[in-house]
Amino acid sequence: MTRPPRRPTWRAARLTGVRPETGSARTLRFEVPGWPGHLAGQHVDVRVTAEDGYSAQRSYSLAAPADGDAIELTVEAVPDGEVSPYLTEVIEAGDEVEIRGPVGGWFVWRPESTAPVLLVGGGAGIVPLMAMIRARRLAGSRVPFRLLYSLRDPGSRYYADELRRPDPGLDVAYLYSRSTPEGWPRLAGRIMLDDLAEGGWPADFEPDCYVCGPTGFVERAADLLLALGHAPGRVRTERFGPTGG
Ligand SMILES: Cc1cc2nc3c(=O)[nH]c(=O)nc-3n(C[C@H](O)[C@H](O)[C@H](O)COP(=O)(O)OP(=O)(O)OC[C@H]3O[C@@H](n4cnc5c(N)ncnc54)[C@H](O)[C@@H]3O)c2cc1C
């Protein structure tokens, strides 16, 4: 009989660097001694503990491939949230939290994979998809990637400079749900069948599709991909709703 995998243990993680992404999101770099490594697409649990001993934990996707003991997370401040405002506004270099992981074995991209890839991200759902884009580049993979990145407005774009730089074999398209840049050819609105038909791969190419974002966005985009003929086993989803959502 095989044993079930052991739950990873909590490790101390020290914040070593911070980069702003937007007015409400920032990337945090932690040093986690003994970090076992991870795959692009996996996430971690972060536990923060107040001086009086009260603690709270939330899940955050790993934003970059494994780099020794260093990991990166990108966190969006949720208004009135318990943990995300602490991570985006309060924690400073040198401070410690606890991290457990990596978690998840299905929503992952492996550099040895040869299928074309479609990434569909809504809001903070870009985070694990960016880890996949970075892992592809790091591995020198020539697998073609397409990213459809849905945002509320032009100011909500994460990783803007990096996604603007040429990356052969990676196509990036933006969709805006609330307001667009001036002169943008597509009206602001929710993701539509045409967006996926034009910006994705034909189902015949048998791409691996990764969809991540708020629950409603993920369900809609996954349904549209199935309507376009993509096989359910090739549409992998990760929902970022509130815990339990
Ligand atoms: C697998 C996984 C990976 C995730 N990765 C990321 C990531 O990379 N970056 C990131 O910023 N977040 C990510 N999240 C979301 C994150 O775990 C928290 O839910 C989020 O940071 C809010 O936590 P909070 O303690 O600030 O808010 P809470 O105190 O939990 O909630 C406060 C209020 O905000 C609402 N709320 C909570 N979460 C959300 C949300 N995500 N969207 C809208 N409203 C919400 C709640 O219903 C409540 O009304 C991920 C979630 C999962 C399940």
pLDDT tens, residue by residue, 210-241? 999 999 999 999 999 999 999 999 999 999 97
Question: For the stretch 46-76, what's the b/e string if a residue is b when 16 or more beta carbons lie within 10 angstroms of its beta carbon?
Answer: bbbeeeeeeeebbbbbbbbbbeebebbbbbb
Report the DSSP pairing between strands 208-213 and 170-176: unpaired
pLDDT of residue 245: 34
**Beta-bridge mates of residue 26:** 20, 75
Closest CA to 226 of 181, 199, 193: 193
Cα 78 to Cα 80: distance, rounded to the nearest angstrom: 6
For 175-230, the DSSP string reads: EESS---TT-SSPS-S--HHHHHHHS--GGG--EEEEEESHHHHHHHHHHHHHTT-
Task: Copy the structure tokens of residue 108.
Answer: 């992952």
Give the distance (Å) from ligand 1 centre to CA of residue 44: 13
Nearest atom (ligand 1) to Cα of 86: 26
Cα 242 to Cα 171: distance, rounded to the nearest angstrom: 30
pLDDT at 243 over 60: no
pLDDT of residue 6: 67
Query: CB within 6 Å of ligand 1 — which residues?
Result: 43, 58-61, 74-76, 78, 80-84, 124, 127, 214, 238, 240-243
pLDDT of residue 216: 96
Tell me the per-residue pLDDT of 52-81, one tens digit each, with 9 for 90 and over: 999 999 999 999 998 999 999 999 999 999
Mutate to test the pocket of ligand 1, among 28, 46, 78 (most ligand atoms within 8 A of CB): 78
pLDDT of residue 138: 97
pLDDT at 2 over 70: no
Nearest atom (ligand 1) to Cα of 243: 19
pLDDT at 244 over 50: no
Nearest atom (ligand 1) to Cα of 25: 11
Task: Copy the structure tokens of residue 27.
Answer: 């990337």
Question: For the stretch 176-196, what's the b/e string if a residue is b when 16 or more beta carbons lie within 10 angstroms of its beta carbon?
Answer: bbeebeeeeeeeeeebeeebb
pLDDT at 104 over 70: yes
For residue 102, is the peptide bond before it cis, meaning its omega torsion is within 30 degrees of 0?
Answer: yes
What mean pLDDT do residues 108-115 have? 97
Mutate to test the pocket of ligand 1, among 46, 84, 126 (most ligand atoms within 8 A of CB): 84
Q: Which residue, by CA, sits nearest to atom 27 of ligand 1? A: 81
Distant-in-sequence, close-in-space partners of 56: CB < 8 Å, separation ≥ 6: 47, 48, 82, 83
Tell me the HSE value of 17 on the side-chain side, using a 13 A CA sphere: 7
8 — pLDDT class (breaks 50, 70, 90):
confident
Mutate to test the pocket of ligand 1, among 47, 55, 57, 58 (most ligand atoms within 8 A of CB): 58
Could you give the domains of the chain?
10-103 (2.40.30.10), 117-239 (3.40.50.80)
Give the distance (Å) from ligand 1 centre to CA of residue 142: 34
Task: Copy the structure tokens of residue 243.
Answer: 């815990």
Mean residue pLDDT of the chain comes to: 95
